[in-house]
Amino acid sequence: FFQKREIDGKTVYGASIYTERGSEGITMGAMDVLYSFGFNYENPDKPYEMDGFVNSDKSANGLEFYKALYDCCTPPGASNSYMGEGVDAFKSGQVAMHMNFAFTWPGLQKDENVGGDRIGYFANPKGPDGNQFAQLGGQGISVVSYSDKQEAALKYIKWFANK
């Protein structure tokens, strides 16, 4: 792994992962690992029964894995990092790998310093049972069926989609 390796006279760390606490950052990062490790919000046979599912051994193991990744492989000062901080760490060469959503890839691919044939992408690792999950990220947009402004909303979506 690249953790604290000297490359071209610069200390490079392994990865930038989501740790941001001010909004959904830490949740978005940890959930991929939790789901891959077998996390469930509730008993699929008894909705709203969460004990033993949210706090299952599999969930705890997923959190331990994410914490171990943080402890071993992130750069100093990465305890409140999300998309922007991660992109900065990656583009500056501080980290060898960067966790981010697929919608950011085209911009990184076009970047003269890190893109083109210098960049690659990979899926999240599988959990112990072979499960593998990734969240898409982003926000949806739609026209509400009972709105009296449907025509204006649809016009906006068409405009936005062409930008």
Q: Does 22 map to a domain? A: yes
Tell me how many domains the chain contains.
1
Q: Does 146 map to a domain? A: no
Q: Does 78 map to a domain? A: yes
> What is the block-wise mean pLDDT of the chain (163 residues), using blocks of 10 residues?
84 95 90 93 88 91 95 94 95 93 90 92 91 80 90 93 85
pLDDT on residue 135 = 82
Q: Does 76 map to a domain? A: yes
Q: Does 155 map to a domain? A: no
For residue 30, give its domain range: 5-138
pLDDT on residue 54 = 87
CA dihedral angle for residue 108, residue 110, residue 113, residue 114, rounded to 10 degrees: 40
Looking at residue 126, which CATH number applies to its domain?
3.40.190.10
User: What pTM, to 2 d.p., does this model score?
Assistant: 0.79
Q: Does 56 map to a domain? A: yes
Cβ(101)–Cβ(139) below 8 Å: no
